[in-house]
Amino acid sequence: MSDWPLIAVRFALYLDLGLVFGWPLFCLYAPLVEGRSEPVPIGVPITLFGVLGFMLSGLGFLLMLAAMSGSGIAELDPAVVGMMLRETVVGWSFLARTASLLLTITAGLMVRWPRLPRLVMASLGGAVALASLAWNGHAAATEGGLELLHLGSDFLHLWAAGAWLGALFALLAMLVRRSPTPAQLDSAQRALHGFSRAGTAVVAILVVTGIANAAILVGGSSLAAAAAGRWGQLLVVKLLLFGAMLALAAANRFRLTPRLQKSIAGGDTGAAVTALRLSVGLETATLVLILALVGWLGTLEPVPGL
């Protein structure tokens, strides 16, 4: 069986579950920081992301079992599927992901609930669902005393990436409005400022946990072997894309967002909004490419033969 269906579903899961966590998290801190009304929708996106994650999670679990058994999904033995669910960490993480996604979907559907409890409930469900992906990658295979360290580092890495992803998609949704009103532009500018403060912590967590994960997976003695293989080459591409994201984020924070603020005061916002749309769109596309690489990297051995 080809690895590409599994890689595609892994990528889709990272993307979707990052939004399941990151979208409501952004809605929690960005509007409240500035005391403004809700700048992006809550119920429909959260529900859709949760339902899609629910379906992708089931498909990914079956594809993983099929890859392990060397067969197709239709050929899987129901008894084996049940055993994997009940008796393996992969099965337990799938069940935890399923339950947490149901929690998130419920939060999205409860339109009569107050805003804050819905967002907290959705964010917590998304955090568990996203963290459960750590058991589908290399961290689950780490042995000895490093296992808990690797899993903890993976959790933080996933949450930081999800927070960045959700913020970018939400900001893009705010910036692509046709003929935005001055109030909408003011909300977008304030949301950009709100995320810029959180973004520093997000980048720091990604850098520290990324270094820790690479050190645990590879180690100094096998660094050359890892760099020569496909896993190492894809990791280099991932790091280059991450560097491009940092450059775009810096441009947004220090040049384009202040430019939008000045243009709002001056009444001519067209050029500033267009520049921000392009920059945030490129940053978002770059992160999506990184997630595609992450979906692929998780199916490869960092150092073949070790």
Domain, as residue range, for 72: 4-297
Q: What is the mean pLDDT of the chain?
A: 86
Q: How confident is the model at residue 305 (pLDDT cuts 50, 70, 90)?
A: very low
In the predicted structure, residue 221 carries a pLDDT above the cut 70: no
Banded model confidence at residue 143, pLDDT cuts 50, 70, 90: low
Domain-located, residue 58: yes
Q: Are 158 and 131 in contact (CB under 8 A)?
A: yes
The pLDDT of residue 141 is above 70: no
Q: Is the pLDDT of residue 93 over 80?
A: yes
Q: How far apart are CA 108 and CA 130, in angstroms?
A: 17
Residue 124 lies in a domain: yes
- Crossing angle of the two packed helices 182-217 and 230-251, in degrees rounded to 10: 150
Residue 306 tokens read as 């070790």
**Least-confidence region, from 19-23, 76-80, 81-85, 194-198:** 194-198
Residue 305 within a domain: no
Task: Give the residue-averaged pLDDT of 35-64.
Answer: 87
> What pLDDT digit, counting tens, does each position of 278-301 carry?
999 999 999 999 999 999 988 887
Res. 39: pLDDT tops 80: no
Number of domains in the chain: 1
In-domain check, residue 306: no
In a domain, 304, yes or no: no
What's the N-to-C CA distance of the chain in angstroms?
24
Average pLDDT over residues 112-127: 94
